[in-house]
Amino acid sequence: DDAGNKYWQIPQRGEEAARREIEYPTTQLEDIDFESIPSEWRLWVRGYRDDTPTEEEIFMSRARATETLRKAKEIEAKDAVERSKQLASGELRKVDSHTVGVGGGGGGGDSGTAARPPE
């Protein structure tokens, strides 16, 4: 793969099942970037898929992941703007690093009241 990993399938011998392994480009454990192993190869090594992944399949998967992250950042940015507007208008208030709804109920947030222990 792009990171220099090699993937092997060791044939079945007798009663022993075939094994699949990854040969990393380095033997230093701290230098291995396990997150860089494409999920398609991880699935193959673990036996969740029979066929080895193609370069096109890995490319398309990475493209989908990149697009998903882009959309998530876009949504986070819109939410941050909306949250700022709500804080400025008093619709939301900040309490110990959490943002909660104020009054009115029904918004799915905290109505501003909390359960109290029995007196």
Query: Is the model's pLDDT at 105 over the cut of 70?
Result: no
Residue in this structure with the two tokens 């943002």, named with its chain if needed: 99
For the chain, give the percent of residues with pLDDT over 70. Answer: 80
With beta carbons less than 8 A apart as the criterion, state whether 112 and 91 touch.
Answer: no
Entry pTM: 0.59
Structure-token pair, residue 85: 């507007």
Q: Which of 43-47, 94-98, 106-110 has the lowest mean pLDDT?
A: 106-110
pLDDT digits (tens, 9 = 90+) for 9-41: 998 888 888 899 999 988 888 888 888 899 999
Which string of DSSP letters, residue by residue, matches 32-44? --GGGS-HHHHHH
According to the model, what pLDDT value does residue 118 have? 58
With beta carbons less than 8 A apart as the criterion, state whether 109 and 100 touch.
Answer: yes
